[in-house]
Amino acid sequence: MLGAAACSGSGRTEAEGCAATDTVATDSVEVLALEMPVIPATISEPEDMAGFIAIHFWDNLDFSDMERVGDTVFMEQNFVDYLGVMPAVMASDRQVAFKALMKRASANQAARELIIAFGEKYLNHPDSPMKNPEHYADFKQAAGGE
């Protein structure tokens, strides 16, 4: 779809060098996903893999980067992706993961407040499909019971 839009917007035809594989420049497309942590080869059990991902999910985000953490769409999408891993994570790893997130987010008060708001919205709101009282209790404990 992007290829067709790029061709039609350029005024070129396929015969003039606009192949169907042309795409819009990558710097004009906002990247919404954090780079996922690489699971060490020594971890082979699925629940251990999920735990590792949850604990290290935010490692590739510099919470002092105001441009990134100030992008609420980026932050919310990544928070939802992060919570999507949690059903496969053992309770002990989930608790460590929430504590790791809150420790990283403490570097930026605005980011910390945003993360807490997302936790409330997705883990505690009655209309949320991700609502989970056990996960919410662990999240609130990691956030300092606020």
pTM for the model stands at 0.77
Residue 129 reports pLDDT greater than 90: yes
Q: Are 14 and 32 in contact (CB under 8 A)?
A: no
- With pLDDT > 70 as the criterion, what percentage of the chain qualifies? 77
Q: What angle do CA 30, 122, 103 make, to 5 degrees?
A: 75
> Which has more pLDDT, 5 or 106?
106
Q: Distance between CA atoms of 115 and 10, rounded to whole angstroms? A: 41
Q: Average pLDDT, stretch 72-89?
A: 97
Q: Are 33 and 40 in contact (CB under 8 A)?
A: no
- pLDDT band with cut points at 50, 70 and 90 for residue 32: confident
Residue 17 reports pLDDT greater than 60: no
Q: Distance between CA atoms of 49 and 143, rounded to whole angstroms? A: 24
